[in-house]
Amino acid sequence: MKRPLEIAFFGSSLVSAYWNGAATYYRGMLRALHERGHRITFFEPDAYERQAHRDIDDPPYAKVVVYSGTDEGAALGMLERARTADVIIKASGIGVFDELLEREVARARRLGSLVVFWDVDAPATLDRLRNDPGDPFRALVPSYDLVLTYGGGPPVVQGYQDFGARHVVPIYNALDPDTHFQTAPDSRFAADVSLLANRLPDREARIGEFFFRAATALPDHRFLLGGNGWHDKPLPGNVRMVGHVYTADHNAFNASTSFVLNVARDSMATCGWSPATRVFEAAGAGACLITDVWQGIEEFLTPGAEVLVADDGEAVARHVRDTPATRARVIGEAARRRVLAYHTYAQRARIVESLLDTGQHPREVSR
């Protein structure tokens, strides 16, 4: 690395995972970049009650600056503070002032600096751009020096190139082994199958298929549902709901169940190459993961050996019914070894660093 970089990052929230699925990703990436010597300021709005539901204090690896989520001038003021940084990053899906910040960050480049768009839901963004010729972000894509994405693989790279992106590189979710690790079971989360997922319109039907259908097929098994938004959902008798699970409890959540289920959102399942943060959290805890099927899974975990893959709810039920506890433990341990070897945020940060510092664009290797 030639020199430490000053990085200004505009995102949804670093200190709160409340209705904020990107929090774990932000934390893992920014902590790993900080450990490589870079200085980070994270700008986040006071919006969606996230400041009232903080689950971490301001971290040592980034300076957190909170601005008004209702005052456009406050957002512009944050951008003025960020202009002296070596790298200015606008993440997707902040939830307030996105259009404003996308435009102004693209204009904020100065001699020797970089402006980066970091898309944490690229399939949805690309769908939006394809379906709305008047979307102002279409014209801005070529203005960014670099587009980084939370996932998506070849379809996302090609999609962004179709809109004129200069460079596009997927930076996949990963594991922070100091945050997500094996721990003792907790009776609060005891179950046979658990799922941690907020209720969202573009995932609810898939959760109905993979989680609720499996629960209905296995009435003698205990199913546990964590996440926001399920309070008014009719539940089968063998499903217990625990609401929002704070990140400090994620390890216990994953350690207290025989199987952890991952269900992708519609767009990410269609696009492929989009492992959620939950995949790596569960693997880091040594849990036996069952995931819905999506293209590219084998680049992260080997089906049958490190993860169980299901085409539908009946396949989920079959895995649960037919996989002995000893076999589940072997699969979970194999997944833990794989992610520790090849899928940590420290490894992802080296890729990001090379992109920001040298302009090179290495292809990430998965095994």
| Residue in the structure block whose two tokens are 């080296």 | 350
Q: What pLDDT was estimated at residue 3? A: 84
Q: What pLDDT was estimated at residue 264? A: 94
Give the whole-angstrom CA distance, residue 293 versus residue 315. Answer: 10
* Residues forming CATH 3.40.50.2000 domain(s) in the chain: 6-173+345-358, 187-342
Q: Which residues are CB-neighbours of 214 under 8 A, at least 6 positions away? A: 193, 223, 261, 313, 314, 316, 317, 320
| Residue in the structure block whose two tokens are 């929002």 | 244
Q: How many helices (H) and strands (E) does the chain have?
A: 14, 13
Q: What pLDDT was estimated at residue 178? A: 95
**In the CATH hierarchy, which fold is given to the domain comprising 187-342?**
Rossmann fold (3.40.50)
Question: Which residue would you say has higher pLDDT here, 357 or 365?
Answer: 357
pLDDT confidence of 358, banded at 50, 70, 90?
A: low
* Homologous superfamily of 6-173+345-358: Glycogen Phosphorylase B; (3.40.50.2000)
What type of residue is 366? S
Alpha helices in the chain (DSSP H): 23-35, 72-82, 98-106, 122-131, 137-140, 153-162, 204-207, 213-217, 250-255, 266-271, 277-284, 313-322, 325-342, 345-358
What type of residue is 232? D
Q: What is the pLDDT of residues 82-95, one digit of tens each?
A: 999 999 999 999 99
Judged by DSSP in three states, 91 sits in strand
Picking from 353, 203, 343, the residue whose alpha carbon sits closest to that of residue 277 is 343
Give the whole-angstrom CA distance, residue 314 versus residue 312. Answer: 6
Is 360 a residue whose pLDDT tops 80? Answer: no
Give the whole-angstrom CA distance, residue 68 versus residue 48. Answer: 11
Q: For residues 62 and 25, is the Cβ–Cβ distance under 8 A?
A: no
- What is the Rg, in whole angstroms, of the alpha carbon atoms belonging to the chain? 20
pLDDT confidence of 38, banded at 50, 70, 90?
A: very high
Q: What is the pLDDT of residues 159-182, one digit of tens each?
A: 999 999 999 999 999 999 999 999
Give the whole-angstrom CA distance, residue 62 versus residue 8. Answer: 10
CA distances from 11 to 30, 41, 94, 110, 159 (A): 12, 11, 5, 21, 22
Sign of CA dihedral 24, 26, 29, 33: negative
Give the whole-angstrom CA distance, residue 171 versus residue 364. Answer: 8
Q: What pLDDT was estimated at residue 110? A: 87
Give the whole-angstrom CA distance, residue 58 versus residue 309. Answer: 38
Answer yes or no: pTM beyond 0.85.
yes
Supply φ then ψ for residue 32, to 5 degrees: -65, -35
Name beta bridge partners: 146.
Answer: 116
Q: What is the share, in percent, of the chain residues with pLDDT greater than 70?
A: 97
Q: What pLDDT was estimated at residue 364? A: 43
Q: For residues 233 and 200, is the Cβ–Cβ distance under 8 A?
A: no
Give the whole-angstrom CA distance, residue 120 versus residue 207. Answer: 21
Give the whole-angstrom CA distance, residue 328 versus residue 304. Answer: 10
Q: What pLDDT was estimated at residue 357? A: 81
Tokens matching residue 340: 């520790």
Q: What pLDDT was estimated at residue 2? A: 65
